[in-house]
Amino acid sequence: MLRELIDNRAGEEYDLYAKTINPQFVRVLRTIGFDRPWARGEGAYLVDADGRRFLDMLGGFGMFNTGRNNPRIREALIEALELDTPGSVQLGVSTLPGLLAEELLRLAPGSLGRVLFTSSGAEAVEAAIKLGRAATGRTRVVSAQHGFHGLTLGALSANGNLEFTDRFGPLLPGFAQVPFDDLEAMEAELAREDVALVLLEPIQGKGVVLPQAGYLEGVQELCRRYGTLFCLDEIQTGLGRTGRFLAAEHWGLEPDVLTIAKSLSGGYVPIGACLLRREVHEAVFDSMEHSFSHGSTFAPNDLGMAAGLATLRALDEQGLVERSARLGELLLELTRPLVERYEVVREVRGLGLMWAIEFGEPESRRRSWRMLERAQPGLFAQLVVVPLFSEHAILSQVAGHRLNVVKALPPLVVTEEDVEHFAAALDDVLARAERLPRAMMGFALKAARAGVAAGR
Ligand SMILES: Cc1ncc(COP(=O)(O)O)c(C=O)c1O
């Protein structure tokens, strides 16, 4: 049935989407030439209707760590369907959720002892906020400026970016944002001893901002001192992304709460999880009366659980966490020389396969650069992303609104050749983009007028 439906409407997908779902998004895609008719996804590649293969350095905003349509995960899903598993009894339980929870707790820091499944990342953050408040009897939540934790109202209240929060207020009371990497500012908030939860990404996804040495350990220590729960949002950094199963391992962190989602189901089924210190969970689910204190109809569901178990197995059997560490090193090695080679490149940074390149005003061609920045801050990054796509068949993203940063979150199944291809393509694009030729400027200004949005 699906084959026929898809084939019958081939070529109409963008019009249909514009008419029924989001016309402004389709306008953006058309303006930057990203309106390809996609036919298939396969590992680290997307294949268009003409059979052209695009290297996917965006990775669905980090939801395809195990590669698109990973055959092992697909098999597990088919098996789960064929088994007619008795999931979501609601007044009863099945085996798969407990098995996935057991595996996650085995892999997570020892401080964590319970799992609360959700259907998305934002929902895992909502759970962290709600349960954190109830467990501590406090109401305030402190997060970081430029942090991103999802777009539902609670998670949005912890968001440190005006372009996401503006227009949607009033947000929840009791939220404060402090500069990332600033322990003094964090202590000033926590010393009031009314903060339930500190919510931080170990590496900020927006812009790929790595913490200074000692920062995360320092926040954890402040949380302990002032009776605040330390919550790491690993929705983007988790599941091997940074070269460890969880980024927390790089700093030996023992959080009280930790959120994951995205790649946990191999990109197949909406999923999320909030891992909690056992005492935190028990402080909320403290009686039979409170056994339903939080949840949602689809969480946990057996397809998500089957995909989750298969994803953990695929990460392990395919050695993807080590691969992320190794290929991330290679990517840095191949792209760091761009800082010396191009005036416009300020920094190349990353950990594992979470990578970014930042641009800044070059000494020469200042006038053109400033014209671009006036039209729309961060537009130069768009001038890199567009030819990477149209000329080199590489899908990448700008790392955030008004940021001159291009970011990569490729599936961890990328090969050395893919990484080399990306680095060479970037070199080629920068050689031209740095000169800010007239044709590029014209395109950029048109894109700015269309209000081309950035990703996360
Ligand atoms: C760090 C972080 N937290 C939370 C979220 C929200 O997850 P979801 O989009 O599944 O709601 C994201 C999504 O990009 C994220 O990167």
Q: Does residue 452 carry a pLDDT above 70?
A: no
Structure tokens at 3: 């084959």
Counting atoms of ligand 1 from 1, which one is nearest the CA of 236? 16
Tell me the percentage of the chain whose pLDDT exceeds 90: 91
Tell me the percentage of the chain whose pLDDT exceeds 70: 98
Mean pLDDT confidence for 36-47: 97
Q: Does ligand 1 have an atom closer than 6 angstroms to the CB of 233?
A: yes
The DSSP secondary-structure symbol of 429 reads H
Instruction: List the residue whose alpha carbon is closest to atom 6 of ligand 1.
Output: 150
pLDDT at 266 (0 to 100): 98
pLDDT at 54 (0 to 100): 98
Q: Does ligand 1 have an atom closer than 6 angstroms to the CB of 205?
A: yes
Task: Report the chain's mean pLDDT, rounded to a whole number.
Answer: 96
Does residue 230 have an active-site annotation? Answer: no
Q: How confident is the model at residue 160 (pLDDT cuts 50, 70, 90)?
A: confident
Q: Does ligand 1 have an atom closer than 6 angstroms to the CB of 407?
A: no
Read off the pTM: 0.97
pLDDT at 448 (0 to 100): 77
Choosing from 152, 203, 236 the residue with most ligand 1 atoms within 8 A of its CB, the one to mutate for a pocket test is 236
Give the three-class secondary structure for 195.
strand
Q: How confident is the model at residue 456 (pLDDT cuts 50, 70, 90)?
A: low
The DSSP secondary-structure symbol of 53 reads E
Which residues touch 103 (CB under 8 Å, ≥6 apart)?
A: 308, 309, 312
Mean pLDDT confidence for 23-34: 95
Mean pLDDT confidence for 423-436: 94
Produce one character per residue of 359-375: b if its CB has 16 or more CB atoms within 10 Å, e if not. beebeebeebbeebeee
Instruction: List the residue whose alpha carbon is closest to atom 2 of ligand 1.
Output: 149
Q: Does ligand 1 have an atom closer than 6 angstroms to the CB of 241?
A: no
Instruction: List the residue whose alpha carbon is closest to atom 16 of ligand 1.
Output: 236
Counting atoms of ligand 1 from 1, which one is nearest the CA of 201? 1
Mean pLDDT confidence for 307-329: 98
* Cα-to-centroid distance, 67 and ligand 1 (Å): 19
Residue 216's Cβ-count burial label (10 Å; 0-12, 13-18, 19+) is buried
- Of 294-308, 363-377, 404-418, 442-456, the range with the lowest mean pLDDT is 442-456
Model confidence pLDDT, tens digit, residues 323-371:
999 999 999 999 999 999 999 999 999 999 999 999 999 988 898 899 8
Q: Does residue 443 carry a pLDDT above 90?
A: no
Model confidence pLDDT, tens digit, residues 227-283:
999 999 999 999 999 999 999 999 999 999 999 999 999 999 999 999 999 999 999
Structure tokens at 432: 């031209």
pLDDT at 439 (0 to 100): 81
